[in-house]
Amino acid sequence: MNQQHIYWINNNSIIQDFYNHIEPVNNNRILFSGPFGTGKSTFLKEFFEANLDKYNVITLNPINYSVSSNEDIFELIKYDIITQLLENYSSDLSLKSEDFSNLEVIQSFVKTKMDFYRLTKSFIKAFVPGTDGLVDFVNELKQESENLIAYKEAINRSDEDKLKDYLKQFGDIKGSMYERDEFSILIKDYIDRIRKKINDNEEGKEKEFVLLVDDLDRLDPEHLFRLFNIFSAHYNNDYSQNKFSFDKIVFVCDAGNVHKIFANRYGQDVQFSGYIDKFYSTQIYQFDNRKYLNSLIFEIAKAKFIPPSNAIYIDSYEVAGRSAFYTAFELIANGLISNNLLTIRGFQHLSVFGAAAGTFTPATSLNLRYQRIDYPFLGLLSNLRQLYPSVNNLLHAIESIDYNPELFKAVYDAYQIETIEKRILRYIFPFLVDTQTAFGQRDRIITDAAYTFKSKRLGRDVQIHYRVTNGYENNTTFEYTDNSGGNNKMVNFNLFEVIGIATANCIKRGWIS
């Protein structure tokens, strides 16, 4: 099984859901939100490839702009759009002198070239008695008319010549914040012409132009808000239309993270909704493929499983039959996924799945070496460690999980959840108690012990009482109690709290790195 197949998530249901979101005509700005590393870019590529008959897509990757000064970003946007239009739709364009509409030329001329001060001064002077002001005003108006004709002739130069000059000298051009300079008009004109030609050739099909602004969550805050502000300035002037005549613009980021950056930059008291709602027409689209990633865990682990060299351990660790070890790993991974602490990108780093290899020494006083394979928790940590940049990142993720068994009822029934939880507690208990209790017993089996910890969730001490009956480790019972109010009460606690404690102990003692 090749890597591409292993990490492919069946997005069909999400594709239909996103299509229902993007398809309405009035939804012309989309904020596509999801945590970093969840596969947003991969999904959108798959979505637009599945809808080639409906959308023409121009993609911007602003991460490429981060090496440039803020003033250049607007020019870089235009440069990328023009380049992609020429590369992808050159057959639909005739690069020769174009006849821009008089209205567009006049709009651009008035906004960027006309000398209002000189013309207004002459106009006022024309109505002052005893002067030649009227003659001056007529002369000034004539001069502006000549300027307009010259401006239109400049615009109607060969597109090819203009583009060559623009692209060749691009490195020396500073960005302009004028919303409709010559090349902005050119982009709009190209898109309108390509759209018309494609729709005329494909009768009955109305393909829309989409500007996909990807990877915004990779930008540093300064460039992120500079880019947002460029589009925001346009919407302040004309909220009904998208920049450059695109039918739809899709902004791809983690809206929650943008909110944190916004609050850090502008203060907690500044209203974020008034800023961000310019970038979506109806509601933020929350991309969530967690339930599909949950179903993918089994395929990934099975493909990466390396059987233990000692055959007596194979059944204990194998994946195909969903061994006790695998289901423990699956529940922990599901907890991380459900809390947005593990993404598909993390699983790309899983190179092998199985038991931990080698030996370890629990304590120098015991003067003994133990096989890691005999301690499944070390195997769980070994597999989970591969999903994070460092063991401390893994520990932080485990400690951040808000464990709610209700989240797992779609995957397991109540009996399975309880069984897996007890199994995990049995795995981790030797790494909670002191080394003498855990590793100094005959046959290395704990038969009766208790561990007390302060639960952050409950705000008080909780005792876990571990007892083995009939001398067989699988016949293990647990009691979780506290002594609040002088009563010994059964309590519910966050399983991941004790997993985190056991993980921290293993890191401290050098058993996982």
pLDDT in tens, 395-437: 999 999 887 766 666 667 777 788 888 889 989 999 998 888 8
Strand 248-253 relative to strand 208-213, pairing: parallel
pLDDT tens for 434-469 read 888 888 765 566 778 888 888 887 788 888 888 876
CB 372 within 8 A of CB 357: yes
Six-digit token string for 320: 């195909």
**DSSP H helical segments within 182-220, as ranges?**
182-201
pLDDT, tens digit (0-9, with 9 covering 90-100), for 225-274: 878 877 776 554 555 578 788 999 999 999 888 888 888 888 887 888 88
**Residue 104 structure tokens:** 């567009």
| Terminal Cα-to-Cα distance of the chain (whole angstroms) | 30
In angstroms, rounded to a whole number, what is the distance separating the alpha carbons of residues 220 and 62? 10
Which among 208, 227, 232, 209 has a CA at the least distance from the CA of 217? 227
Burial of 392 (0-12, 13-18, 19+ CB in 10 A): exposed
Residues 6+ apart with CB under 8 A from 1: 303
Q: What is the pLDDT of residues 150-167, one digit of tens each?
A: 666 666 666 666 666 665
CA-wise closest residue to 350 among 319, 373, 312, 371: 319
| Of 230, 190, 215, residue with least CA distance to 88 | 190
Q: In the chain, what's the furthest Cα-to-Cα distance?
A: 120
The DSSP output letter for 423 is H
Interhelix angle for 324-338 vs 495-508, to 10°?
100
In Å, how far are 58, 114, 199, 377 from 55, measured between CA atoms? Answer: 10, 38, 11, 50
Most confident segment among 274-283, 344-353, 383-392 = 383-392
- Of the two residues 338 and 447, the one the predictor is more confident about is 338
Q: Locate tokens 């000059």: which residue?
A: 165
**Helix crossing, 40-50 with 12-22: angle to 10°?**
80
Tokens linked to 124: 């006022």
Give the sign of the dihedral formed by CA 386, CA 392, CA 397, CA 403. Answer: positive
